Homo-oligomer: A and B are copies of this chain.
Amino acid sequence: MSRRICVVITARPSYSRIKSALRAIQKHPDLDLQLVVAASALLDRYGNAVEIIEQDGFKVAERVYMIVEGGNLVTSAKSTGLGIVELSTVLDNLRPDVVVTIADRFETMATAVAASYTNIPLAHVQGGEVTGSIDEKVRHAVTKLANIHFVSNRKAAERVLRMGEEPSTVFVTGCPSVDLAAEVLKDPLLDFDPVRTYDGVGAVFESFKDYVVVMQHPVTTEYDAARQHITETLHAVKDLALPTFWFWPNVDAGTDGTSGGIRAFREIERPSNMHFFKNMTPTDFLKLLHNARCLVGNSSVGIRECAFLGVPVVNIGTRQMGRERGINVIDVDYDRQNILTAIGRHLSNGRYPSDQIYGDGKAGERIAGLLARVPLGVEKQLCY
């Protein structure tokens, strides 16, 4: 009998990080995919990931609305609580053999608690990494609730093992997000017009030859400062005066600070070199990155996919603190002048060679293969 694999996707970026695995699960003769789309992945103002998911040919088994509006720390907690209430019903209906959760967003704790409390084996993708902010706590707490660990690299595996997980449950698969980057690297042509295809608002450019991309999210434990942080980046990029594709932040406590800062800047400064997008398909996004002169912001895409693609990255602030990074990354603090200087260094240097620190492009197939054959159980104990 096939194993039922329930994957819970709670946000736009999480979809990119699991897409190749979804495809491999879907194709695998011994696996049935049960796809649950939840939280901001259902919401229009965070890019309506569910639409892209369905366009990519995946069937959605259940939709779970769980975001309590408010954009602050208390509503982050409440959304997680509501998510547990909702997801426990969903899992009780779907009765999967394994639940898969991705990375470390605050609401992934809801998936982890709902699965582990109802005695369903939990597989965790991207454990063992190190960053700043609440993500750090969430990631390792999910590791302690999980039964199977699919990690990006040897360093991550080592950390998961040192936390006491049973060695036979920890697998270095690489990160599935790199699988998409690997595909794009084979066919990197920017074969679409971003503005025509994805609308968005703001400046329209004549040529797409020399441009940068910006993606900057609020940092939870500093959310009061989110508006100030984004304003530094906005000024730096305005002064840079290159065509810029800017992506709106995902849902987090502090979103309002970041989004509000962008909106205020647009009204007051009326920048003429920025176009704003809500979302793109993962593949189009990677093509846009591959052809960019530089990525600016604090997205993990800069650390992960851009290492493989060799795209120069200016990484701002603490959000990716502690993560392994390639030579394509320059770290700076929230300071318009420092940001501008770092971009300048990248522009004069150009692209970097491909680096496999987050995977070799075959993570999805490895994960599907393992999900079909690893022994399943819910009991575990510290391995010390």
Residues of A that sit less than 8 Å from B by CB: 40, 42-44, 65-78, 80-89, 92-93, 106, 109-110, 112-114, 116-119, 130, 132-134, 136-137, 140-145, 158-159, 162-164, 199, 201, 220-221, 256, 260, 267, 321-322, 378-382, 384
A118-B74, A137-B144, A137-B145 as given contacts; A80 in contact with B84, CB under 8 Å: yes
The closest CB in chain B to the CB of A158 belongs to B384
Given known A88-B74, A164-B140, A201-B267, contact A67–B68 (CB-CB < 8 A) = yes
Number of copies: 4
A133 to B116 CA separation, bound complex (whole angstroms): 11
Of B75, B76, B322, the contact of A381 (CB 8 Å cutoff):
B322
A128 nearest in chain B by CB position: B382
Query: What 8 A-B pairs come out closest when comparing CB atoms?
Result: A81-B84, A77-B88, A81-B85, A77-B117, A140-B144, A65-B70, A141-B144, A141-B141
Chain A to chain B contacts (Cβ below 8 Å), 24 pairs: A42-B70, A67-B69, A73-B118, A73-B119, A77-B88, A80-B81, A81-B81, A81-B83, A81-B114, A82-B85, A85-B86, A109-B113, A116-B134, A117-B134, A119-B134, A119-B220, A130-B381, A130-B382, A132-B381, A137-B144, A140-B164, A141-B145, A322-B381, A322-B382
Q: Which residues of B contact A143 (CB under 8 A)?
A: 144
Task: Chain B residues near A70: list those with CB within 8 A.
Answer: 42-43, 65, 67
Known: A106-B117, A164-B159. A89 touches B88 (CB 8 A): no
A interface, over-half SS: helix
**Central interface residue in A42, A84, A378, by most chain B CB within 10 Å:** A84
Report the bound CA distance from A76 to B69 in whole Å.
Answer: 12
Residues of chain B lying within 8 A (CB to CB) of residue A163: 144, 162-164, 382
Quote the shortest CB–CB distance from A132 to chain B (angstroms): 7
B77 A114 Cβ-Cβ under 8 A: yes
Residues on B with C-beta less than 8 A from A88 are 74, 77-78, 81
- Contact assessment for B74 and A92 in the assembled complex, using a CB-CB cutoff below 8 Å: yes
| Residues in chain B near residue A89, CB distance under 8 A | 74, 78, 86, 89
**Does A44 contact B164, Cβ atoms closer than 8 Å?**
no
In the bound complex, residues from chain B placing their C-beta under 8 Å from that of A260 are: 44
Residue from A106, A260, A379, A380 having most chain B Cβ neighbours under 10 A: A379
Contact of A78 among B44, B65, B93 (CB under 8 A): B65
Contact across chains for B82 and A137 when beta carbons are under 8 A apart = no
Q: In the complex, A132 Cα to B382 Cα: how many Å?
A: 10
Beta-carbon contact of B159 and A117 below 8 Å:
no
Which residues of B lie under 8 Å from residue A119 when comparing CB positions? 73, 134, 220-221
Q: Write out the residue numbers on chain B whose beta carbons fall within 8 Å of the beta carbon of A162.
A: 162-164, 384
User: Min CB distance, A191 to chain B, in Å?
Assistant: 24
Report B-chain residues with C-beta under 8 Å of the C-beta of A118. 73-74, 76-77
